[in-house]
């Protein structure tokens, strides 16, 4: 809360966290939600480009409303807020400043959002090594103005050497090390996105990352902490890169990665072949052993174009990543159920409202654990049936035990088998959002699974531990060539076919909770983008069976008491990921970098005639 303006703070407390009366008891009256105009006023919203309203007056409407729907009155979206950047020539927001600059430099060189996404992702492999990667995987949604949306699945696959004995031994040993490494997908995914939708030459897009790896950059505070946290898991090769004198690099130290620079140069000159064949592939196989990853595993990897999941919410179309994204399924199920419950009619932040959200979440996560798996393993018919199932608004509400609006349902009663088998996820991911001058958008989340993945490096590349993301119950079971389920859930929200919101977050199983809450703050609670992202968050994921509160951002005691009166257990200390998101309104793009991990959002200047991207280490012109 300390990062919010004094003017915005009342909106965060009132619209999000329960300063409104708490409808805790069985006979408590339902309180109407804050009218959109009042919410906009309290949140500090005003029309884009308009002067501030005089003190004590409500500003005029900041946006047109969405078309009517069977989910209540159309929502009003107010804008980006005072701390967001904005512009008409494109915006980029990511967890790390050098990566954001790399993306903006591409936009200013005449590239589009997909070009910028390639540059950002490649730079994050250098400057955010705990999650940004060449050796992991991810999901990407890209949509040109007018559509259609392309969903690219580059989740890692299990190598041919996976077997039950080796899998069990790896899990028992902590889920890291060479046996946990899946076949990386990031380079193939970025190459496929560029092949389909890119504009500038591929080599130009990788060049900023090459320079950052070769010349080095200063380690930031957050980077230093993640290196320190992961130090005991890193192998000798990784320690040689991320340490000095046998100790982790400290804040301000210069991190140079010449071996990674050479790998990036091969990727720049040869595309996906520069990673999956030749010297890079040989180094990965030599480090892991052919019994774990064979040359055929690498050469045979393919990113996949999938049809997005779609759900309607209050007249808006929400497009989500389909399986193997479990997060997309959770968001779709949650919005479908909350729309049917008309959750926005409850007082924002009241125990009554939060109870409904939590009860939906616990059921959605039980569904995810039981039914989400690799679409190829499930088959086309089963995949189509699941898509229909997840769009049904009554699915979670009518299944026994039915959702009780006045009492929490213990998770073990919803699915006893999955409750007994479930274990907590520990994905370390990173998300970025991009809007270009032509209205193309990209929402992309990448991961190494755990922080610094398996703790193993080869050819300067930190490798994932995605094999540990398979389970022992449900359909997410390990098998050669299979993609493990991930909670990553990049999302696009459309109004009348035009992109309104570009959303996503890291954070493992908390990702769909973050995406849902930011979306609802914008759509249901009338907050601007910066306040919607800054607002404290809650989480419930079926197991463990308690409402978890974000670390360092407590909720009011009244809300805690209200939830406990409804039968919930409330616990604190949960880290939740940074939501680096964007909003497009009236031809203006807004972007905000979540302060939770100290990211950076920048707006692009008008594009110059096509040229090679500028050096990302050069400070950009002030954002306009």
Catalytic residue IDs: 429
> How far apart (Å, rounded) are the C-alpha atoms in residues 109 and 467?
39
CA–CA separation, 506 and 334 (whole Å) = 18
User: How many CB atoms within 10 Å of residue 267?
Assistant: 26
Find where tokens 């808006």 sit.
316
As beta bridge partners, residue 584 has 589
Distances (CA, A) of 210 to 4, 204, 217, 271, 292: 36, 10, 12, 14, 29
Look up residue 341 and give its two tokens. Answer: 């419950």
Structure-token match 């064979």, residue found: 294
Beta bridge partners of 306: 151
310, β-bridge pairs: 319
Q: How far apart are CA 466 and CA 265, in angstroms?
A: 26
Q: Within 13 Å, how many C-alpha atoms sit on residue 415's CB side?
A: 22
Q: Which two tokens stand for residue 577?
A: 């990921």
Bond preceding residue 324 cis, omega within 30 of 0: yes
**Secondary structure class of 488 (helix, strand, coil):** coil
CB count within 10 Å of CB 62 equals 22
Total Cβ atoms within 10 A of residue 168: 12
Q: Where are the alpha helices (DSSP H) in 302-410?
A: 326-341, 351-371, 375-378, 380-390, 395-398
Q: What is the edge-to-edge ordering of all strands in the sheet holding 441-447? A: 304-306, 150-153, 137-143, 441-447, 429-436, 90-94, 600-603
Contact between 186 and 135 under an 8 Å Cβ cutoff? The reply is yes
525 conformational bin, left if phi > 0, alpha if psi -120 to 50, beta if neither: alpha
Instruction: For residue 121, give Cα distances in angstroms to 208, 530, 587.
Output: 11, 23, 26
- How many other CB atoms sit within 10 Å of the CB of residue 408? 21
Token representation of residue 222: 């957050």
Backbone angles phi and psi of 547, in degrees to 5 = -75, 125
**CB-based contacts of 489, cutoff 8 Å, min separation 6:** 139, 320, 321, 325, 327, 328, 330, 331, 445, 504, 511, 512, 515
Residue 429: beta bridge partners? 447
Q: What share of the chain is helix, strand, coil (3-state, %, to 5)?
A: 40, 15, 45
């Amino acid at each position: 809360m300390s990062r919010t303006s004094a003017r915005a703070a009342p909106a965060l407390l009132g619209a999000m966290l329960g300063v409104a009366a708490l409808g805790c008891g069985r006979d408590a009256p339902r309180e109407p939600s804050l009218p959109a105009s009042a919410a906009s006023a309290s949140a500090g919203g005003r029309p884009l480009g308009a002067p501030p309203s005089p003190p004590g007056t409500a500003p005029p409407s900041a946006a047109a409303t969405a078309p009517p729907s069977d989910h209540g009155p159309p929502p009003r979206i107010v804008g980006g807020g005072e701390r967001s950047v904005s512009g008409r020539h494109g915006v980029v927001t990511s967890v790390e400043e050098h990566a954001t600059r790399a993306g903006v430099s591409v936009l200013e060189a005449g590239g589009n959002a997909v070009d910028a996404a390639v540059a950002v992702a490649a730079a994050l492999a250098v400057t955010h090594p705990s999650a940004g990667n060449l050796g992991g995987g991810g999901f990407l949604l890209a949509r040109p103005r007018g559509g259609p949306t392309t969903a690219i699945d580059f989740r890692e696959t299990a190598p041919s050497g996976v077997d039950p004995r080796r899998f069990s031994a790896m899990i028992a040993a902590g889920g890291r090390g060479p046996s946990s490494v899946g076949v990386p997908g990031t380079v193939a995914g970025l190459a496929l996105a560029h092949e389909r939708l890119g504009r500038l030459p591929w080599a130009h897009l990788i060049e900023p990352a090459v320079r950052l790896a070769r010349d080095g950059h200063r380690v930031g505070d957050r980077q230093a902490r993640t290196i320190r946290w992961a130090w005991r898991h890193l192998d000798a090769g990784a320690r040689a890169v991320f340490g000095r004198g046998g100790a982790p690099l400290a804040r301000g130290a210069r991190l140079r990665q010449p071996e990674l620079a050479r790998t990036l140069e091969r990727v720049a000159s040869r595309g996906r072949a520069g990673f999956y064949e030749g010297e890079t592939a040989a180094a990965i196989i030599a480090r892991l052993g052919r019994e774990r990853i064979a040359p055929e595993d690498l050469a045979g990897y393919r990113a996949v174009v999938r049809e997005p999941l779609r759900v309607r919410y209050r007249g808006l179309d929400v497009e989500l990543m389909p399986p193997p994204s479990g997060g997309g399924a959770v968001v779709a199920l949650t919005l479908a159920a909350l729309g049917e419950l008309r959750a926005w009619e409850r007082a924002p932040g009241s125990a009554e409202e939060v109870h409904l959200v939590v009860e939906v979440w616990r059921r959605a996560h039980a569904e995810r654990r039981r039914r989400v798996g690799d679409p190829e393993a499930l088959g086309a018919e089963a995949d189509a049936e699941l898509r229909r199932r997840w769009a049904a608004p009554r699915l979670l509400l009518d299944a026994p035990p039915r959702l009780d609006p006045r009492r929490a349902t213990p998770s073990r009663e919803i699915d006893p088998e999955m409750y007994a088998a479930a274990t907590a996820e520990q994905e370390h991911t990173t998300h970025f959002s991009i809007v270009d001058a032509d209205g193309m958008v990209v929402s992309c989340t990448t991961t190494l699974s755990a922080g610094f993945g398996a703790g193993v490096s080869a050819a300067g590349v930190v490798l994932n531990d995605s094999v540990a993301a398979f389970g022992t119950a449900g359909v997410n079971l390990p098998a050669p060539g299979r993609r493990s389920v991930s909670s990553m859930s990049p999302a696009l929200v459309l109004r009348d076919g035009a992109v309104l919101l570009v959303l996503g977050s890291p954070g493992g199983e908390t990702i769909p909770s973050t995406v849902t809450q930011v979306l609802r703050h914008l759509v249901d609670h009338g907050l601007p983008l910066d306040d919607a992202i800054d607002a404290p968050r809650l989480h419930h994921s079926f197991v463990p069976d308690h409402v978890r509160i974000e670390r360092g951002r407590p909720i009011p005691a009244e809300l805690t008491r209200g939830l406990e009166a409804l039968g919930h257990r409330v616990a604190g200390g949960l880290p939740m990921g940074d939501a680096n998101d964007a909003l497009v309104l009236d031809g203006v793009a807004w972007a905000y970098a979540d302060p939770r991990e100290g990211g950076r959002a920048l707006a692009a200047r008008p594009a110059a005639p096509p040229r090679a991207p500028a050096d990302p280490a050069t400070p950009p012109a002030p954002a306009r």
